[in-house]
A and B are shown apart, each in its own frame.
Chain A
């Protein structure tokens, strides 16, 4: 019995509770999902092994391919607009002293909102009768038609992305500005003496120094874009006519409306493989000595 109380074992006893809970909630179901992806189970009756059948079917599935395409658009949108806006904003913020903290809090606050609340706010602002477009129309400014963009095929995906982006971009401002404050002042003074423009100062002084935070933001945007679910499910449920369907909502309806256990597990497996692929690329690049 004594060896069980030796220092090494005691250290591991402290880790056991986390291991048990995390294993039960994440690891075990993930492994089950890998296994179920190779079956045609529908939640009832016999479980038949079908090999990679589900994956072949997925590559032929029109709706799945559409969902993947929407995820790609989503990722590209988030990699450009919020980042550009947040970088500009953080850079401008470093130039002011008075009220800086207030601005920072304003930008960050939407990030604390529950998805359901942000969605509700913007659903109202775009409301066909009460919303902002309707108000513009009543002032006879026909800039935007007074219909909710969430209900139109051409705009639904972008409208949802806009709401999610509104909620998210302040987070980027805060992480960028934290990075920017580590920039040494003398570098700016040197740049001033050289007669650098504002943009040059940003490009050659600020940016290289916030590169680690910047790369971090790229990675989390790519990783967080894959399982994006809340905003789409709350605002459009993937509709109208699959125009805002993404992989996560596709999986959710396969899993919980149609109970195609095997099929939805195959989708989950692909999502997981993609995530691990992205994370490993960055881990390998870092190992190879890239400064990221």
Chain B
């Protein structure tokens, strides 16, 4: 910890600047919460302040007008499906890279690194044509495969770096008892690696929930769209009904806020994990 001595006046100015910057980050988000419970009439007189009267029906209206029961189900399907597929394949690969030392794993790691660097725009159009050929356009499974593939390098690296630290003796002992390699994975590595799967799951889940570009391109059926692209359409359709627009955004944000309250450290560690490795 840093205990560099600060004079009192310095400390006060530090707090002052930091508080200003924190308000700059948080006030706009608070404003969205305030505006989500304001009745439409209030926007004319009090668009930026604390709500004078509260109208919770905005949420009900947005839920019904936007047919959000279906939309949130779509988003949840995408998140759950991606997590199952992505964590399975990345878990297997991470385990192999950490404990089985496959020959040529350097090449595989380099492939994943290059894979992370390629901008999405490089392959989005051919992927679109390919998905059309395969009949995967407008299907959730099609988008789930894309999300699982896009997030696979990140999850694989994260899981690998965790499993490398597991003691080899654990696996040796089980091998002597006659466990197969697959059993080593799901009976030994998996149960003790849950923290890294939780971190990877939170980061990947957030990325899928928030994702815009691929959702915009690959799901064009109104009824199958996830919340991110529905909100994009909603914004232009209900341009002037700010109460409804803000209530929709709050509903999209709510699960993120709740999960963030429980798992702040994991979210931050997961989202910045590239930085510590340098």
Q: Contact between B156 and A18 (Cβ–Cβ < 8 Å)?
A: yes
B191 lies within 8 A of chain A by Cβ: no
A2 shortest CB reach to chain B, Å:
15
**Bound CA span A181–B4, Å:** 12
- For chain B residues 82-104, which have a beta carbon within 8 Å of chain A? 85, 88-90, 92-93, 95-97, 100-103
**Bound CA span A185–B88, Å:** 43
Segment with Cβ contacts to A, from B12-20, B52-60, B166-174: B12-20
Binary B-proximity of A223-265 (CB < 8 A = 1, otherwise 0):
1001101100110000000000001100110011000010011
B26 lies within 8 A of chain A by Cβ: yes
Q: Contact between B149 and A122 (Cβ–Cβ < 8 Å)?
A: no
Instruction: Provide the residues of chain B in CB contact with A134, threshold 8 Å.
Output: 47
Q: Contact between B122 and A271 (Cβ–Cβ < 8 Å)?
A: yes
Decide yes or no: A103 and B22 within 8 Å by CB, A8-B103, A185-B1 being known contacts: yes
Secondary structure at the A interface, as helix, strand, loop or mixed, is helix
Decide yes or no: A216 and B274 within 8 Å by CB, A22-B153, A115-B212, A183-B2 being known contacts: yes
A259 shortest CB reach to chain B, Å:
9
**Bound CA span A221–B271, Å:** 15
For chain A, the bracket of interface size reads 35 or more
**Bound CA span A178–B100, Å:** 32
Q: Contact between A116 and B228 (Cβ–Cβ < 8 Å)?
A: yes
**Bound CA span A166–B24, Å:** 9
**Bound CA span A145–B11, Å:** 37
Q: Which residue of B lies closest to A7 (CB)?
A: B100
**Bound CA span A113–B256, Å:** 8
B268 lies within 8 A of chain A by Cβ: yes
Binary B-proximity of A114-126 (CB < 8 A = 1, otherwise 0):
1111001111110
B272 lies within 8 A of chain A by Cβ: yes
A12 lies within 8 A of chain B by Cβ: yes
Binary A-proximity of B3-44 (CB < 8 A = 1, otherwise 0):
111100011001101100110111011011001000000011
B249 lies within 8 A of chain A by Cβ: yes
Binary A-proximity of B52-83 (CB < 8 A = 1, otherwise 0):
00000000000000000000000000000000
B102's contact among A8, A21, A109, A248, by CB below 8 Å, is which? A8
**Bound CA span A268–B178, Å:** 51
Q: Contact between B14 and A95 (Cβ–Cβ < 8 Å)?
A: yes
B139 shortest CB reach to chain A, Å:
14
B194 shortest CB reach to chain A, Å:
19
B43's contact among A96, A130, A223, A261, by CB below 8 Å, is which? A130
Q: Contact between B232 and A21 (Cβ–Cβ < 8 Å)?
A: no
**Bound CA span A116–B267, Å:** 20
Secondary structure at the B interface, as helix, strand, loop or mixed, is helix
Q: Which residue of B lies closest to A120 (CB)?
A: B249
B34 shortest CB reach to chain A, Å:
11
B176 lies within 8 A of chain A by Cβ: no
B125 lies within 8 A of chain A by Cβ: yes
A201 lies within 8 A of chain B by Cβ: yes
B190 lies within 8 A of chain A by Cβ: no
Q: Which residue of B lies closest to A25 (CB)?
A: B149
**Bound CA span A255–B121, Å:** 10
Segment with Cβ contacts to B, from A55-63, A150-158, A272-280: A272-280
Binary A-proximity of B205-220 (CB < 8 A = 1, otherwise 0):
0100110110011000
Q: Contact between B130 and A175 (Cβ–Cβ < 8 Å)?
A: no
A196 shortest CB reach to chain B, Å:
10
B165 shortest CB reach to chain A, Å:
18
Q: List 9 A-B contacts (CB under 8 A).
A: A17-B92, A22-B115, A29-B124, A112-B271, A115-B210, A117-B32, A117-B253, A124-B47, A220-B274
Chain B: residues with CB nearer than 8 A to chain A? 1-6, 10-11, 14-15, 17-18, 21-22, 24-26, 28-29, 31-32, 35, 43-44, 47-48, 85, 88-90, 92-93, 95-97, 100-103, 108, 112, 114-115, 117-130, 145-146, 148-150, 152-153, 156, 181, 185, 206, 209-210, 212-213, 216-217, 228-229, 231-232, 235, 242, 245-246, 249, 252-253, 256, 260, 264, 267-268, 271-272, 274-276, 278
